Chains A and B, each alone.
Chain A
C-alpha cells in the first residue's frame, strides 16, 4: 500500500534538449494554443540538434534526470540544412553505446517536432512522462552518484 502511494507520487525529472528553430517554437505554439501538458519536462534550448553533445545527456543523468528527450527539426527542415542528419547518425551510435553499458535506452528518446506541431509536442511530452513514471526513478545512476558523497564524507 505504501509503495503504491510512493510510486503514484513520483514526479520524474525530464531534461529536454530542443532545437530553437523547430521544437522550441513548436513548444511555444503549444503554449500559445493553451495546450496543457505535463510540467515534468525542463526545456533546454540549443541552436540545433547537431549541437547536442552526448555529454549533455550524461551530465543530465549525473544531475538526477530520470529521462531525456532530444528533439529537433524533421529531416530536410534543418535551419542549418544538415545539422539534424549528423545528429541522427550520432544518436544511432550513442544509443547503442548506452545500451551496451547497461543504461535503459527507453529513458533517452529522440523526436522530430516541427514549429507547427505544438499538439504533437504536448502529446509526446505526456506520453514520455507517463512512460518514465512507469519506469520509476533512475536509481542506477543516482546510486553511483550517492557513492561520490559517501567517498567525500570519508575524506
Chain B
C-alpha cells in the first residue's frame, strides 16, 4: 500500500503539485494538526489516523492563495470531498487545480475515544471524487443514524421552548466568528458582518444581534452546507450550530430534493427555481 507520505514525495519530486496539505502529529496528545508540505524532505510528516477530524478544504479557498499556479494536493476524507465539490460548483476553484489524495475513512474522533457525531450518518467512507485513493476500508460496526434525527427531535418542542433554548445558547456567543473562519464555504472576502454601510448585523454581542448573526450564517449556508461540523467544533462555547445547519439541509432536501456536495454540475437550490415549487403558505 502506498502511504500518504510516499505519494506526497512522489508528487513533489515530479513537480506535479506546488504543495501538499495534510495532517501531521499535533502538539497535544489525541490531536492532529494541519501541515503544508512544500518540499519532498518534509513529506514524512504526513500521517492519517482516526484523529484527523478537521476539514482541509478550507485551505483551497481564496484567502489561502494556494491554488494560483500548479495544483495543490490535499488529503481528504469522503466528507471533506463534499466541500471541494461545493467549491467547484460555485466556481471558486477548478477541478484541475486540486489533486485529491482520497483516504478511505473508518470514522474520525475529536478526542480519541468517541466517534465524531457526523460519522454516525456517513455513507461516504470512500470519497466520491479523488485522484489517488489510499487506505483500506474496515468493516464498519457502527449503527447508522438518520442524520436528521436530532432535528426531528428538536422540532417536537413547543415554540416557546425552542425560542428559550436558542436564547440560552446564543447568549453565550461572543462573536469571535470562528464558525465563519473555519467554514470552507464561507469564503466571501467581505462578510456581511464586516460591512458598516448598511450595517445589517450589529457588531456588539447581545441576544438580538447574536440571533441575527446566527440566522444569517445558517441561511447563507442553506443548501450549501455539507455537514462537516467544523463550525460546531471550532465554537468554544459549544453552541449547537450544526443543528441549525442540519435543519436547513433537511428543508432543502424535503422541498427541493437536493443534497449539497454530491454533484459539481448541479445548481445551488436557492439560486434556482421550479414552477411547481410549493406555495401553500402564500396568500
Contacts and interface: CB of A to CB of B under 8 A. Distances in A.
Interface of A: 54-55, 58-59, 62, 75, 82, 85-86, 88-97, 99-105, 109-112, 124, 140-141, 144-145, 147-148, 151
A145 B163 contact: no
Contact of A88 (B164, B216, B252, B279): B279
Interface residues of B, number: 47
Contacts of A54: 215, 219
Interface of B: 154-155, 159-167, 192, 200-201, 204, 206-209, 211-212, 215-216, 218-219, 222-223, 244, 247-248, 251-252, 255-256, 269-275, 277-279, 281-283
A3 B155 CA distance: 33
Contacts of B270: 86, 89-90, 93
Most buried by B among A94, A97, A111, A124: A97
A103 B223 CA distance: 21
A147 B277 contact: no
B163 A103 contact: yes
A144 B251 contact: no
Contacts of A58: 211-212, 215
Contacts of B244: 97, 100
A93 B219 contact: yes
Secondary structure at the B interface, as helix, strand, loop or mixed, is helix
A85 B164 contact: no
Given A58-B212, A92-B255, A92-B277, A97 B207 contact: no
B211 A85 contact: no
9 contacts: A55-B216, A75-B275, A85-B275, A86-B270, A88-B273, A93-B223, A111-B283, A112-B282, A148-B209
A93 B245 CA distance: 12
Contacts of B279: 75, 88
A148 to B, nearest CB: 5
B282 A144 contact: no
A105 B163 CA distance: 13
Given A93-B222, A97-B219, A85 B277 contact: yes
Contact of B283 (A95, A99, A103, A110): A110
A86 B273 contact: yes
A97 B200 contact: no
Nearest first, the 9 A-B pairs at minimum CB distance are A102-B163, A102-B162, A85-B273, A144-B207, A111-B283, A96-B251, A148-B206, A144-B208, A110-B282
B251 A93 contact: yes
A97 B278 contact: no
Contact of A89 (B163, B192, B273, B281): B273
A124 B208 contact: no
B166 A102 contact: yes
A92 to B, nearest CB: 6
A95 B248 CA distance: 11
Nearest to B218: A97
Contacts of B272: 89
A142 to B, nearest CB: 10
Given A89-B256, A92-B278, A102 B223 contact: no
